[in-house]
Chain A
Amino acid sequence: MDWSLWLPFLHARNIGRMNVETRNSLEDVYRVEAPRLWRALVLHTGDREAASDAVAEAFAQAIRRGEAIRDPAAWVWKTAFRLAKGMPDKRRTMPPAQEVGDPGAVSDELIDLVRALKKLTPHQRAAVVLHYYGGYSVREIADILASTASAVGVHLYRARNRLRRELGDDHDRPA
């Protein structure tokens, strides 16, 4: 495996573990985490505005809490996903290209992915996005989604099978 591909992610996680004492260092966390968090939320909600709202509100709450947060990166991911859970789901009325970006400005691969994600339940979608895009482990996802590791395992297993069927592959089932 080429571990260099993981370096940006590892760097981001290490920054998240630093004890943030000032707003400036929280801004550092924002610069590292927010782009990936925002894209993960776009995949999860299918709505750029909802993703922006959740990210802005999560960081606003983090600023208000200040030093009370030990791990700001983990905290904003958890808070943003929980905020997004309470937002209305616009997926049923919006075509995929409009959901994630300007028509014609996004690739077919991304449109296919969003279309496949629409067919998952919200919990399956959150789990698979956090795992395959956010890079989180099953235990970390359980913490973010206020669930158990075994429940997240169930969601990931079902989601992965469904995604592979939707995206044209069905070869990973147990014998």
Chain B
Amino acid sequence: MIDLREKFAAADELTPPDLWGEAKKRAANQPSVASVPERLVNRPRHRLAAATVAIIIFAAAGIFAWNVLAPPNEKAIVPSPIPTAPVRPLAITGTLKLPFGDFGVVAGANSVWVAAYGHVLRVDPTSMTVTASIPVPGLSDQGAIAIGADVWVTDGSHHEVVAIDPATAQIVRRVRVPHIPVQVAADGQNVWVISATNGVGRIYRVNGATGVVTSRGQLSTSPRLPFTAGGGSAWVAEGGGLRRFGSDGSTATVDLSAGDVSALTFGDGSVWALASGGEILHIDPSSGLTIATFPSPSGIGLAEAAGRVWILTDTGSRSKTVYIPDPRHPSLVVSFDADTGQPVGRAVKVGFAPAWIAADGGEAWVAKFDPERLLRVSTA
């Protein structure tokens, strides 16, 4: 077997130039980045502006804390251990070989939509056949897909998000957004886009009907965070909690005691978060309160539809640093009742390298990348 580390060691024969002098020259030709805000704050009018902004932030934080975080009366409800629905086995009831490498799946508008290299595929959920293939040349494996009133995908190479009319399977709008769009979520006509920059991620709200960017915000870290939209807001998992970006430009933070969130989705009027330690959180989008929690396996994908929560678990790896699928630990799909938290679908193995899950009605669809397959999972 080839040792790739040894192969890459061949690069050591290259002799790098000395660029320290060039770096110092470039640094000297531009002002110190650290000193710029300091100079601005030292000006009296900027001091006044900074003080005003600080007062507004403190006031907003106080109001938010009073309204959202203070009333602890609505305690998290742990569901009763009595099953309310029979646990039936899940099964793979349909398989489609995808013509292009895939990297995202959503379900809605009577179809399943798959983001693939250079194409969006519309799949008939009953016959599991591709009914339309819409070329989006800039769609790459750093892209994302979402469904609201339209199907939206990111085209990072052209700095655009692209809207596809689900009825006609035609591109109806291209919206230019700053930086490199890498994530998208949609809630009716509200479309939220996260762009990657050289620093932290930026979030933009786009009016899906007009294509106008109506508000913008900033994440505290990487743009590749669990992300969803619903109830008029976008939700981002950040630092052990959630940040809500309202359609009016407001932001709020929701602390979660469950730790880091590995997946996030919106369904049936609620936010659903999968804590990396293995717990599902049912969150009220208007108050930010956790309505219920129930135990689950940890996973990489989460979907909710028609009163069922679906979880996709990760494939085990034979290596701690590199993903080498472990044949003894394939990925699973499991299903829970959204109201009671009781399992309603006994786990089904979905093989290796699945990465994305979507749900609609009483079924779920899993997209795998090696080999490229779309699986339909239903109750047997």
A133:B1 contact, CB within 8 angstroms = no
In the assembled complex, how far is the CB of residue A98 from the closest CB belonging to chain B, in whole angstroms? 13
**Is B66 located at the chain interface by the 8 A CB criterion?**
no
Question: What separation, in Å, do the CA atoms of A131 and B4 have in the docked complex?
Answer: 10
A56:B19 contact, CB within 8 angstroms = yes
Contact partners of B224 in chain A: CB under 8 A: 142, 146-148, 151
Contact partners of A67 in chain B: CB under 8 A: 34
A42:B11 contact, CB within 8 angstroms = yes
**Is B14 located at the chain interface by the 8 A CB criterion?**
yes
Of chain A, the residue at the smallest CB distance from B352 is: A174
In the assembled complex, how far is the CB of residue B378 from the closest CB belonging to chain A, in whole angstroms? 25
* Chain B 6-18: CB-based contact to A (< 8 A → 1; otherwise 0): 0111111110110
Contact partners of A124 in chain B: CB under 8 A: 141
Contact partners of B168 in chain A: CB under 8 A: none
**Is B324 located at the chain interface by the 8 A CB criterion?**
yes
Question: What separation, in Å, do the CA atoms of A124 and B326 have in the docked complex?
Answer: 21
**Is B58 located at the chain interface by the 8 A CB criterion?**
no
Contact partners of B201 in chain A: CB under 8 A: 146
Interface size class of B (residues with CB under 8 A): 35 or more
In the assembled complex, how far is the CB of residue B175 from the closest CB belonging to chain A, in whole angstroms? 21
B4:A110 contact, CB within 8 angstroms = no
List A133-166 residues whose CB lies under 8 Å from chain B: 133, 137-138, 142-143, 146-148, 150-151, 153-158, 160-161, 163-164
In the assembled complex, how far is the CB of residue B40 from the closest CB belonging to chain A, in whole angstroms? 16
In the assembled complex, how far is the CB of residue B311 from the closest CB belonging to chain A, in whole angstroms? 14
**Is B196 located at the chain interface by the 8 A CB criterion?**
yes
Of chain A, the residue at the smallest CB distance from B18 is: A34
**Is A172 located at the chain interface by the 8 A CB criterion?**
yes
**Is B27 located at the chain interface by the 8 A CB criterion?**
yes
Contact partners of A175 in chain B: CB under 8 A: 327
Q: How would you classify the secondary structure of chain B's contact residues: helix, strand, loop or mixed? A: loop
List B140-155 residues whose CB lies under 8 Å from chain A: 140-142
B14:A138 contact, CB within 8 angstroms = no
B1:A146 contact, CB within 8 angstroms = no
A110:B20 contact, CB within 8 angstroms = no
A34:B16 contact, CB within 8 angstroms = yes
**Is B160 located at the chain interface by the 8 A CB criterion?**
no
B23:A56 contact, CB within 8 angstroms = yes
Question: What separation, in Å, do the CA atoms of A107 and B1 have in the docked complex?
Answer: 21
Question: What separation, in Å, do the CA atoms of A139 and B24 have in the docked complex?
Answer: 31
Q: Knowing A65-B33, A138-B322, A155-B141 touch, does A39 contact B14 (C-beta < 8 A)?
A: yes
B34:A66 contact, CB within 8 angstroms = yes
A156:B369 contact, CB within 8 angstroms = no
* Chain A 33-54: CB-based contact to B (< 8 A → 1; otherwise 0): 0110011101100000000100
Contact partners of A160 in chain B: CB under 8 A: 4, 322
List B280-330 residues whose CB lies under 8 Å from chain A: 300, 314, 317, 321-327
Question: What separation, in Å, do the CA atoms of A110 and B352 have in the docked complex?
Answer: 32
Q: Knowing A52-B19, A157-B323 touch, does A63 contact B355 (C-beta < 8 A)?
A: no
In the assembled complex, how far is the CB of residue A147 from the closest CB belonging to chain B, in whole angstroms? 5
B26:A163 contact, CB within 8 angstroms = no
In the assembled complex, how far is the CB of residue B366 from the closest CB belonging to chain A, in whole angstroms? 14
Interface size class of A (residues with CB under 8 A): 35 or more
Q: Knowing A43-B11, A147-B224 touch, does A34 contact B20 (C-beta < 8 A)?
A: yes
A101:B323 contact, CB within 8 angstroms = no
Q: Knowing A27-B20, A34-B16 touch, does A64 contact B30 (C-beta < 8 A)?
A: yes
Question: What separation, in Å, do the CA atoms of A89 and B22 have in the docked complex?
Answer: 23
**Is A11 located at the chain interface by the 8 A CB criterion?**
no
Contact partners of A148 in chain B: CB under 8 A: 224
Of chain B, the residue at the smallest CB distance from A171 is: B1
Q: Knowing A150-B300, A157-B370 touch, does A100 contact B14 (C-beta < 8 A)?
A: yes
Contact partners of B321 in chain A: CB under 8 A: 131, 137-138
**Is A57 located at the chain interface by the 8 A CB criterion?**
yes
**Is A73 located at the chain interface by the 8 A CB criterion?**
no
Other-chain contact of A113, B8, B23, B31, B369 (Cβ < 8 Å): B8
Contact partners of B355 in chain A: CB under 8 A: 150, 154
List A88-147 residues whose CB lies under 8 Å from chain B: 100-101, 106-107, 109-110, 113, 121, 123-124, 128-129, 131-133, 137-138, 142-143, 146-147
Contact partners of B370 in chain A: CB under 8 A: 157-158, 161
If A42-B14, A124-B141, A160-B322 are given as contacts, then 4 extra A-B residue pairs at C-beta distance below 8 Å, sorted by A number, are A107-B10, A107-B13, A113-B11, A146-B224
- Sample (23) of A-B pairs whose CB atoms are under 8 Å apart: A30-B20, A43-B8, A59-B23, A60-B23, A60-B27, A63-B23, A63-B27, A64-B30, A65-B32, A100-B11, A106-B14, A109-B10, A123-B141, A133-B11, A138-B323, A150-B355, A151-B141, A151-B142, A154-B353, A155-B141, A157-B325, A158-B101, A171-B1
10 A-B pairs with the lowest CB-CB distances in the bound complex, closest first: A60-B26, A59-B23, A153-B323, A63-B27, A38-B16, A169-B2, A133-B8, A132-B8, A56-B22, A110-B10
